[in-house]
Amino acid sequence: MSGRMGLVPRASLIVCRACAQAAGAGVLERCVDAVSDRQILLCTTAIENKFLNDAQRSQAYDNRGIAHAREGWRERALADFNEAIRLAPDNAVAYANRGNLHLNAGQFGRAIDDYAEGIRLAPTYAPLFAGRGAAYLRTGQLQEALLDLDVAARLAPGDPEIFNNRGTAYFNMGQIDFAIRDYTEAIRLEPSSGGIYYNRGNALAQANRMQEALADLGEAIRLLPNHASAYYNRGVIYTQLGDRKRAIADMREALTRPPA
């Protein structure tokens, strides 16, 4: 009798370990799907669960880093992405997210390095090419930007930001027709983006398609009523068309808006 009872704690321990593993995996899933401060809490719970393996904890750190970045806590986000990569050096998504953090901070060299390592690990993951293309664009390396954004567009043809950035690369290279084409595709994918209408409006103005440019800048203003540059550029077009009254009105509106 006493011998049989002695087996109970051992059996209970095995069952509870399995429950803890299942619970840890469940917390990790909720950590991935949650938002904002709840995501931070759930990911921290997952990180502290000793039954998760390094790859799972890497994923939890990565997702908590995203939540920290969303809240504007850059140093915390960076620490989490660093730990995610330490735990799983093959975590290409963590390299992409750390690259995005560097990109948004204007640290373009570090961003490019992270995207490059991520591409080595996951050569079909579109956000890595899109991110590196954006970093190249910001540093004026336009040919390199086009190469990466071409790949990104093939891998993720439904991402409007890729087409917007490639349109800007073409615009900066003076290839206005290609820029208009890409901005048009970006608008088709995201018709509520005032920034893309603004970009296409400027490209249309460069192509001397003034009425279309006015329409796009007007839509940019409708979607982004405080966009000072949209008012200013529309005022410039009105000036060129000889509509002095509307030009003056737009210039005045531009002066009342905060600078971008």
Domains in the chain with CATH codes: 159-260 (1.25.40.10)
Asked if residues 64 and 47 have their Cβ atoms less than 8 Å apart, the reply is: yes
pLDDT of residue 247: 98
Q: With pLDDT > 70 as the criterion, what percentage of the chain qualifies? A: 89
- What's the half-sphere exposure (Cβ side, CA atoms, 13 Å) at 117? 17
pLDDT of residue 164: 98
Radius of gyration of the chain (CA): 25
pLDDT tens-place string over residues 196-209 = 999 999 999 999 99
pLDDT of residue 8: 41
pLDDT tens-place string over residues 65-122 = 999 999 999 999 999 999 999 999 999 999 999 999 999 999 999 999 999 999 999 9
pLDDT of residue 56: 93
pLDDT of residue 38: 85
> Residue ranges of the chain with pLDDT lower than 70?
1-25, 34-36, 260
